[in-house]
Amino acid sequence: MKKLMAANWKMHKTRSEARETLKAFLSGMPQLPADREVLFFVPFTALASAAEVLGGQRGYFLGGQNMYPADKGAYTGEISPAMLTDCGCSYVLTGHSERRAIFGESSEFIGRKTTFALERGLKVVICIGETLEEREQGRLEAVLGEQLEKGLAGVESADPEKLAVAYEPVWAIGTGKVAGPKEILESHAFVRSWLCQRYPETGNALRILYGGSVKPENCGEIMGLDNVDGVLVGGASLDAEMFRQIVLA
């Protein structure tokens, strides 16, 4: 399975800024290594522009940062899987800690979105992660287990080509802090064990990404750890050259 190098731009970049960043990224990128795939989660308003630049190039994919689990309807401000696909997306992100903490999304609702997205043909990266308080209370496995159980409740079989899990310790997102090798290893080992128990046939092949203040300086070490099959990058992915270095790490 190829390593998945994902960028989450969050609420950054206009259409023109997105085009400029992607063009700069591609112009500075040598041939993409055969063992890598690159995924950009960009704002809804920039999706169509990003799709034009990426142009179906081998190994590059586009994703939506969110969606609502319905085909259409009276859901003001929301976006459907079909709308994402129409903009050129093949992926969607679910369960990010900001959706949980700021917008009050429960693990059950995240599970509905994850299942619906897969049913509608989108690939999914589902995020899980604990707060610092939860880790210090010794609740790491309980928290991650609950988020996985409810977030994947409706996913009876997991296709490694269509589903990935991103572990993002909440205390390391945008703070400049990064989990050390020991913390990453133990968390990813737990996720792998859970996935293998839930999906005996495919659990060992599902990609587990690490996210949380990933930078060019630490990405190589992180990528070398067991059960790390890629990264989900926030702030550093906004800079074309920094993200290029991360992709090649």
- Strand (E) positions, 117-244? 123-128, 163-167, 207-211, 230-233
Report the pLDDT value the prediction gives residue 213, as an integer from 0 to 100.
87
**Burial class (CB within 10 angstroms; exposed 0-12, middle 13-18, buried 19+) of 164:** buried
Q: Does domain 3-247 have CATH number 3.20.20.70?
A: yes
Segment holding 42, helix H or strand E: strand 36-42
Q: Is the pLDDT of residue 139 over 90?
A: yes
pLDDT tier at 107 (50, 70, 90 boundaries)? very high
Catalytic residue set: 96, 168
Which residue matches tokens 């400029």? 20
* Backbone dihedral angles phi then psi of residue 41, each to the nearest 5 degrees: -95, 105
> Hey, where are the domains in the chain?
3-247
* pLDDT, tens digit, 9 for 90 and up, residues 168-195: 999 877 777 778 999 999 999 999 999 9
Report the pLDDT value the prediction gives residue 25, as an integer from 0 to 100.
97
Angle between helix 240-247 and helix 15-27 axes, rounded to 10 deg = 50
Q: Is the pLDDT of residue 30 over 90?
A: no
Report the pLDDT value the prediction gives residue 40, as an integer from 0 to 100.
98
Mean pLDDT rounded to a whole number for the chain: 96
* pLDDT, tens digit, 9 for 90 and up, residues 49-69: 999 999 879 999 999 999 999
- Do 227 and 187 meet the contact criterion of CB atoms below 8 Å apart? no
* pLDDT, tens digit, 9 for 90 and up, residues 207-225: 999 998 899 999 999 999 9
Question: What gap in Å lies between CA 90 and CA 205, rounded to an integer?
Answer: 20
- CA angle (123 as vertex; 121, 125 as ends), nearest 5: 150
Least trusted range by pLDDT, from 17-21, 84-88, 211-215: 211-215
